[in-house]
Amino acid sequence: MNIDSDHARKALVAFVIERALLKISKSTLDQVSNSLYEEHHCYLGDCYERPEYLAKALKDLFGKSHIIIVESIKKELINFAEHKLIERFLKVVSE
């Protein structure tokens, strides 16, 4: 898969986040989406540029268990980590 545009990478990251959350449950996706919107007025796609928002929402909602979600996201995106913003995204959500 060749991802050339920033727009495509943003969509990829949003898709991977959504998929990781849906693997747990629809209510998990809803909780994270609601938290992102209530606290930062943003959506999953915005986390590509502001990964700290996702990291905070996951930690606030799931405590130490957020690591399971982060690992699922990392597993899906690791092949795209050569792109600087995806690399940064993975670093920030892993902190």
- Domain extent listing, the chain: 6-94
Q: Which pLDDT does position 11 carry in this prediction?
A: 93
Q: What is the pTM of this model?
A: 0.89
Q: What is the CATH number of domain 6-94?
A: 1.10.1200
Give Cα separations from 13 to 54, 63, 64 (angstroms): 11, 22, 22
pLDDT tens digits for range 15-46? 999 999 999 999 999 999 999 999 999 999 99
Residue 12: how many other CB atoms lie within 10 Å = 19
Residue 71 has pLDDT above 70, yes or no: yes
At position 74, the amino acid (one-letter code) is: K
Q: Looking at residue 25, what DSSP letter applies?
A: -
The residue whose two tokens read 């928002």 is 53
High-pLDDT (> 70) share of the chain, %: 96
Mean pLDDT of the residues in the chain: 92
Q: Which pLDDT does position 1 carry in this prediction?
A: 46
